[in-house]
Structure 1
Amino acid sequence: MKILTDFFQLFYPRLCANCDALLIKNEPILCTFCRHDLPLTNFDSYKENKVAKIFYGRIAIEKAYSLLFYRKDGISKKLIHALKYKGNENIGIFFGNWLGEMLKENKKFSDIDCIIPVPLHPKKKRLRGYNQVSKFGETIGKHLQIPFNEHLLKRISSSKTQTLKSRFERFTNNDTKFLLTDYTSLKNKHILVVDDVVTTGATLEACAKELQKTENIKISFLTIGYTELNL
């Protein structure tokens, strides 16, 4: 078996998703050097973090957390772009394992009942072939032994991608609409909504407003990246 693995590696080497260096056995997705270069937010050590503050006065949430700063031309942007547009869902699994292990250890999301990804519009999902945060959320769910459900929440409006919008448009965006297909199954539950990047929080806010049509529901947010806007 090792001979076959070595033979496969000869023609299809595993390369770092950032610097293209050859990965060694215990390096998934990133080489050790690039992993240490990731811009971690460390928001988990704050009593109040910047992600949660985005939603102050807008919508009631329990908790919010992002693993990385998402910066222009940075390593986190390159990774999420590859996850989102180049079909590299292993990046979602990589970050799902990272956050899943971290959250299992610190128990800060120990009361979550269900994980739901921010859904794509069906047309966009058909074009892309996948939802970039599905593997991410599913992997976290396996670590925390929490159900993952990507069918309860549907996106029913299609708007232009966030990358094509001006900063003001992203901040004021309220044209994204969602539909909860079952208003009873999440009653009295604490739901963790996962996404790739939070910028203004408009999309997550729209998801939460639809979910909050369920009686006595609690909502938290978790994303891979967080963008600091200079509006």
Structure 2
Amino acid sequence: MIKKYWKDFLSLLYPELCYNCDVALVEGEDKVCLRCYRDFPLSNYHQSEPNPLVQIAAGNEKVKGGYCYMKFNKHGVAQKLLHEVKYKGNSAIGVLLGEWFGKYLEKELTTLELDGIIPVPLHKTKRRKRGYNQSEIIAKGIQNVTGLKILNEALIRTKNASTQTKKGKVERWQNVDSLYKVVDKESIERKKVLLIDDVITTGATISMAAEVLAESGVNEIYFACIASGK
């Protein structure tokens, strides 16, 4: 009881603010206020035909579906929250985003009967600098809701270079093996996996990773991201 009173007293002096609108949070709210949460710009891409996330992987027949939590808008809530995760070391928000995403997709993911989640990997140098892979943190949140296994060791990034998004599509495919490599083929052969990244913009990064997985024997691949401007 004393602990609760002390916590309430501190919240009066140092209120926790919504990361989107800066309004003081009340009991029961976490990171964003209820109003902002209700106004999330949900994408519902998985209900669209054609699915814009599947279209970015045209030519890869193993990509069967795509799921995006929010539409990406400049200075919008998705950008603000992901900025906290990627550049301010706020991994707790990453986990929470994954949990919200997992609840948003819980019915769909259960129906798919997936074998696991593969976070799009960071190069070890970038991971060391950031302290974690943001896609893996988000995957942990999804796991908390769904119980899906995270296949962290299946795929690695072999080069610490920016995605070559200015190159043509054919040229990007020709360079796919130089960016990603499957190191545990047995863990993914004949499996159905959710390949997750934090943001999908051009789609080059996740498409390259999907191509390597397809060549290594994965049966079905489903894209997932917290935000996309597609």
Provide TM-score, normalisation by structure 1: 0.86
Give the 3 Å change call, closer, same or farther, for CA 146–168 of structure 1 in structure 2: same
Matching residue of 2:42? 40
Alpha-carbon deviations, 1:38-76, whole Å to 9, x = none? 222122332432112222235530111111111223222
Matching residue of 2:4? 2
Unaligned runs of 5+ in 2: none
Percentage identity across aligned positions?
A: 33
* Counterparts of 1:65 and 1:16, CA distance in 2: 26
Alpha-carbon deviations, 1:109-152, whole Å to 9, x = none? 53110111111111111111111122210121232221112222
Matching residue of 2:132? 130
Give the 3 Å change call, closer, same or farther, for CA 109–148 of structure 1 in structure 2: farther
Matching residue of 1:194? 196
Give the 3 Å change call, closer, same or farther, for CA 14–173 of structure 1 in structure 2: farther
Matching residue of 1:118? 120
User: Structure 1 residue runs of 4+, over 6 Å off?
Assistant: none
Contact 2:153–2:184 under 8 Å retained in 1 = no
Q: Which 10-residue stretch deviates more, 49-58 or 147-156?
A: 49-58
Matching residue of 2:28? 26
SS of the residue corresponding to residue 184 of structure 1 reads helix
* Counterparts of 2:66 and 2:149, CA distance in 1: 19
Question: How much has 1:86 moved relative to structure 2?
Answer: 0.9
Unaligned runs of 5+ in 1: none
Higher relative helix content = 2
* Counterparts of 2:116 and 2:109, CA distance in 1: 15
Of residues 56, 59, 62, the one that matches 1:57 is 59
Question: How much has 1:10 moved relative to structure 2?
Answer: 4.3
* Counterparts of 1:117 and 1:181, CA distance in 2: 14
Give the 3 Å change call, closer, same or farther, for CA 173–159 of structure 1 in structure 2: farther
Matches within 5 A, 1:62-101: 62-101=64-103
Question: How much has 1:168 moved relative to structure 2?
Answer: 3.5
* Counterparts of 2:223 and 2:150, CA distance in 1: 14
CA RMSD of aligned residues (A): 2.4
SS of the residue corresponding to residue 57 of structure 1 reads coil
2:166 is the counterpart of 1:168:
yes
Give the 3 Å change call, closer, same or farther, for CA 118–216 of structure 1 in structure 2: closer
SS of the residue corresponding to residue 134 of structure 2 reads coil
Amino acid at match of 2:29: E
2:144 is the counterpart of 1:142:
yes
* Counterparts of 1:121 and 1:131, CA distance in 2: 9
SS of the residue corresponding to residue 46 of structure 2 reads helix
Give the 3 Å change call, closer, same or farther, for CA 16–109 of structure 1 in structure 2: farther
Of residues 151, 173, 196, the one that matches 2:153 is 151
Contact 1:29–1:90 under 8 Å retained in 2 = no
* Counterparts of 1:204 and 1:181, CA distance in 2: 17
Question: How much has 1:11 moved relative to structure 2?
Answer: 5.2
